[in-house]
Amino acid sequence: MDYPTNVLLLLLQLILQRQQALVHQDKSLDLAALLKEPIVDKEVLTQFQNHKLVKMYAPELCNVHLRLLKSLVADIFMTGTPGDETHDDTTVITLANYYYNQRIEELTQDQLPRIRHEIAELLNP
C-alpha cells in the first residue's frame, strides 16, 4: 500500500461522505457502525476513479475494480494509526485525521522548503 497520503486521504473523505449519505437515505443504518466498517460501493469507486487527484498522483488506481478498492480500504483499516495496536477505535475519521496530519507534515517538511528553494533560485540566478 504505497500510495501517496493525499490519495489515501481523498479515499477516506469520499468514504466518509458516502457513509453520511447512506445514513440520510436509510435511517435504519447506524453512522457509528458504518464509520468502523464502511460500505464501499460503486458510488465511492466511481468518484474515486474519476477524481483529478487520483488521475494525477496514482493513475494506476483509475481502473481498479470494486474488489480491489475494498481490499485497499481493508488494508488501510488493518494498518490503522500508530499507537493503536487493537484497532478497536479505528474509524474513517481517525484514519482521515492521521493521513491529514501526515499530509501536512509532508507539505511543511518537504514540499514547501523545496518550492521556496526553487523560487529563490529563479529570483536570484
57-102 pLDDT, tens digit per residue, is 999 999 999 999 999 999 999 998 887 666 668 999 999 999 999 9
Query: pLDDT averaged over the chain?
Result: 93
Distance separating alpha carbons of residues 118 and 20, to the nearest angstrom = 42
Q: How far is CA 49 from CA 35, 64, 95, in A?
A: 21, 8, 20
**Confidence at residue 87, expressed as pLDDT on a 0 to 100 scale:** 60
Q: Tell me which amino acid residue 18 is.
A: R
On the question of pLDDT at 1 being above 90, the answer is: no
Distance separating alpha carbons of residues 107 and 52, to the nearest angstrom = 19
Domains in the chain: boundaries: 5-123
CA angle 37, 53, 67 (to 5 degrees): 40
Contact call for residues 102 and 5 (beta carbons, < 8 A): yes
Q: Which residue has the higher pLDDT, 1 or 71?
A: 71
Residue 77's CB: how many other CB atoms inside 10 A? 16
pLDDT digits (tens, 9 = 90+) for 29-53: 999 999 999 999 999 999 999 999 9
pTM of the model: 0.88
